[in-house]
């Protein structure tokens, strides 16, 4: 079996509403590149590059990508490097991509997802079984309250998601710790003691000391954990050392090397693992394996469509260390009963919405990523 050809699509789906965090400037979902790889025996695999121009690691590393840069990188570097490769040699494929061009994890993620989808279809196995096995058949979800919501809107939404079965809400913060504390206090008052509440500052607290001072006050309202309060390993380690509340690394945890350094220098208590940050499922599993030694983790998405959401679920299902609710912004489909009320898109490019039950997404069944692509929708939303 050999990777023989490809098709590319650029797609944007309207969002239910804007979702903003401290460092975001571009609207989620304003256009992604979809990659279809085709093998010499006609097997197809789909991948998604959910590139974000302003999303990256600490201090400007892992530069932002866009759907246009993903297209150029794929056509000029990645496909020539992997053309003719055996899709069963996923490690070799990553090595070839990394030698062809440094960086560009979103573009590489699209290839990685498509190769895994193709492999699963060729073997008639779900992708999680190619990643180590299926530890769980459902993924517990958390819900993210955008920083653009007013206190009243955020409190109302937290109550609403609790009523639909969620056990964790994330407060997007970072611009003003006093506002974050006040929102935490108000949400805690409304949702009671059982609900997990986290604050994600997206690196935006101005110093480790500021994060520590406000984090200690947040502890009073039983903050479950604080996500990426500050920028950089050194400051993250200071906050982790000083706070009783656990600290989760997101922007500081892009690559397996980041994960090793976070462990070595005690830069976090938890990891937020993505499919896209390290460049796909293969390296996401490497981070999960590193984390299994000592760390609690979740898998978080960044506004994926159905292909990417399925990949996030397969990574979460196959990783033993995923024991925190995951932020997977699954697509809302109007009229589908039981859809979780998460922010996301008003439609999707897959034929069947994901199943949702008691605050959990059910892992899609079927070979590969377990999703079927709706070509009419791809045409409808092409840009």
Burial class of 138 by CB neighbour count within 10 A (0 to 12, 13 to 18, 19+): middle
Q: Which of 292, 267, 303 is nearest to 106 (CA)?
A: 303
Alpha helical stretches, state H, the chain: 67-73, 79-82, 90-100, 105-123, 151-163, 177-191, 208-219, 233-242, 256-264, 281-291, 306-318, 375-381
Cα 273 from Cα 85, distance rounded (Å)? 28
Cα 328 from Cα 307, distance rounded (Å)? 12
CB-wise, 6 or 270, nearer to Mg ion?
270
Within a 10 A sphere around the Cβ of 238, how many other Cβ atoms? 21
Minimum CB separation from Mg ion for residue 3, in Å? Answer: 33
Q: Which of these segments, 127-135, 143-151, 194-202, 331-339, binds Mg ion (CB under 5 A)?
A: 194-202
Q: Is 180 in the site for Mg ion (CB under 5 A)?
A: no
CB-wise, 3 or 259, nearer to Mg ion?
259
Minimum CB separation from Mg ion for residue 227, in Å? Answer: 5
Distances from the Cα of 252 to the Cα of 49, 228, 280, 340, angstroms: 21, 7, 17, 29
The DSSP bridge pattern shows strands 360-362 and 356-357 to be antiparallel
Within a 10 A sphere around the Cβ of 166, how many other Cβ atoms? 24
CB-wise, 119 or 236, nearer to Mg ion?
236
Find the binding residues for Mg ion in span 211-240 (CB under 5 A). Answer: 227
CB-wise, 61 or 92, nearer to Mg ion?
61
Bridge partners, residue 15, by sequence:
345
Residue count, binding to Mg ion (CB under 5 A): 3
Within a 10 A sphere around the Cβ of 349, how many other Cβ atoms? 27
Q: Which residue is nearest to Mg ion (CB)?
A: 250
Minimum CB separation from Mg ion for residue 240, in Å? Answer: 16
Minimum CB separation from Mg ion for residue 202, in Å? Answer: 6
What is the x/- site pattern for Mg ion, positions 104-143, by CB under 5 A? ----------------------------------------
Exactly one of 48, 117, 157, 250 binds Mg ion (CB under 5 A); that residue is: 250
Q: Which of these segments, 64-72, 249-257, 305-313, 362-370, binds Mg ion (CB under 5 A)?
A: 249-257
Q: Which of these segments, 40-48, 122-130, 197-205, 279-287, binds Mg ion (CB under 5 A)?
A: 197-205
CB-wise, 71 or 143, nearer to Mg ion?
143
Minimum CB separation from Mg ion for residue 358, in Å? Answer: 24
Q: Is 258 in the site for Mg ion (CB under 5 A)?
A: no
Q: Is the Cβ–Cβ distance between 287 and 278 less than 8 Å? A: yes
Q: Is the Cβ–Cβ distance between 46 and 36 less than 8 Å? A: yes
Find the binding residues for Mg ion in span 279-298 (CB under 5 A). Answer: none
The DSSP bridge pattern shows strands 196-200 and 143-145 to be unpaired
Minimum CB separation from Mg ion for residue 200, in Å? Answer: 4
Q: Which of these segments, 36-44, 156-164, 195-203, 359-367, binds Mg ion (CB under 5 A)?
A: 195-203
If DSSP codes are grouped into helix, strand and coil, which group holds residue 113?
helix
Q: Output the CA torsion sign for 19, 340, 52, 69.
A: negative
Q: Is 200 in the site for Mg ion (CB under 5 A)?
A: yes
CB-wise, 187 or 198, nearer to Mg ion?
198
Minimum CB separation from Mg ion for residue 300, in Å? Answer: 6
Residue numbers of the site for Mg ion (CB under 5 A)? 200, 227, 250
């Amino acid at each position: 079996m050999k990777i023989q050809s490809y098709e590319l699509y650029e797609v944007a789906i309207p969002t239910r509403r804007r979702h903003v965090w401290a460092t975001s400037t571009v609207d989620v979902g304003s256009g992604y590149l979809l990659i279809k790889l085709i093998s010499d025996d006609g097997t197809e695999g789909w991948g998604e590059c959910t590139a974000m121009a302003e999303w990256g690691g600490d201090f400007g590393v892992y530069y932002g990508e866009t759907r246009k840069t993903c297209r150029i990188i794929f056509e000029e570097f990645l496909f020539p490097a992997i053309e003719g490769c055996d899709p069963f040699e996923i490690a070799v494929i990553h090595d070839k991509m990394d030698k062809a061009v440094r960086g560009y994890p979103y573009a590489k993620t699209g290839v990685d997802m498509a190769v895994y989808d193709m492999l699963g279809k060729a073997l008639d196995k779900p992708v999680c079984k190619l990643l180590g096995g299926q530890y769980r058949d459902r993924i517990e979800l958390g819900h993210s309250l955008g920083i653009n919501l007013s206190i009243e809107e955020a409190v109302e939404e937290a109550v609403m998601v609790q009523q639909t079965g969620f056990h964790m809400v994330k407060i997007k913060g970072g611009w003003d710790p006093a506002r974050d504390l006040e929102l935490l206090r108000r949400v805690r008052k409304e949702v009671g003691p059982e609900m997990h509440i986290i604050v994600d500052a997206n690196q935006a607290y101005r110093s480790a000391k500021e994060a520590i001072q406000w984090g200690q006050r947040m502890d009073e309202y039983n903050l479950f954990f604080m996500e990426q309060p500050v920028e950089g390993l050194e400051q993250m380690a200071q906050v982790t050392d000083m706070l009783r509340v656990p600290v989760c690394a997101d922007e500081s945890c892009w690559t397996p090397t980041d994960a090793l350094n976070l462990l070595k220098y005690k830069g976090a208590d938890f990891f937020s693992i993505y499919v896209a940050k390290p460049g796909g499922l293969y390296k996401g599993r490497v981070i999960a394996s590193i984390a299994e030694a000592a760390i609690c983790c979740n898998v978080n998405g960044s506004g994926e469509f159905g292909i990417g959401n399925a990949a996030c679920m397969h990574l979460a299902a196959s990783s033993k260390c995923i024991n925190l609710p995951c932020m997977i912004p699954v697509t809302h489909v109007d009229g589908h009963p039981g859809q979780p009320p998460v922010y996301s898109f008003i439609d999707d490019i897959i034929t069947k919405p994901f199943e949702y039950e008691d605050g959990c997404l059910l892992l899609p069944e079927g070979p590969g990523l377990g999703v079927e692509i709706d070509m009419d929708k791809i045409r409808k939303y092409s840009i």
